[in-house]
Amino acid sequence: MTKNNINGVLLCAIVFLFGNYINAQTKNTGPIIKDFGKVWKVDAPDYALDTTKTYKAVFDIMNSPEDVGELNRSIETAARFLNMHAQSGIPLEQLKVALVVHNKASKDVITSKNYKKKYGIENPNEKLITDLIGAGAEVIFCGQSSMSRGFPKEELIDGVQLSLSAMSALIQLQNEEYRLIKF
């Protein structure tokens, strides 16, 4: 066997082994939110997840991409939260999620029909929000942002709740032992 042949065989072996490792290390969605919220599987973490606890998280969603056709990754973080915990053995009944939407993210909670009137395209976040609500997440829209940014209750995606303000919703949820997540 020549040196070139040996190098070729070694290269093929490395590509084969590395390719299998990469394939084993893929991000996956589900089982709760099927089309959004891809996460990595972490086998045997040193800081173990307590599968007997209920996890209550409130996501402060105030920013949105400048591109009106882009998915709001901050909203998708809630899907990642649900999927990663479910993939790690926490049942949906032990996962309580709320999103408090305000400020620049206000546009993300209106129906595609109304989004299209304002921006000329369908709301890229509507299915994600609908899936989150379908999984039991509360999506709460700031009443102050509704008024100041011109997104009335009638334009909201079904299931989105209008609150007095983001501040009051965040305080109330934290008083109910939800933990604030701001990313």
Domain ranges across the chain: 1-183
Query: Structure pTM?
Result: 0.86
pLDDT digits (tens, 9 = 90+) for 6-34: 555 554 445 455 554 444 579 999 999 99
Class of domain 1-183: alpha beta
What is the helix (H) or strand (E) element at residue 132, kind and residue range? helix 126-134
Q: Which residues pair with 39 in a beta bridge?
A: 28
What percent of the chain is modeled with pLDDT above 90? 84
Burial class (CB in 10 A: 0-12, 13-18, 19+), 31: exposed
Tell me the two tokens of residue 181: 């997540």
Which of the two residues, 20 and 78, has the higher pLDDT score?
78
Residue matched to tokens 């400048």: 66
Burial class (CB in 10 A: 0-12, 13-18, 19+), 146: buried
pLDDT digits (tens, 9 = 90+) for 146-181: 999 999 999 999 999 999 999 999 999 999 999 999
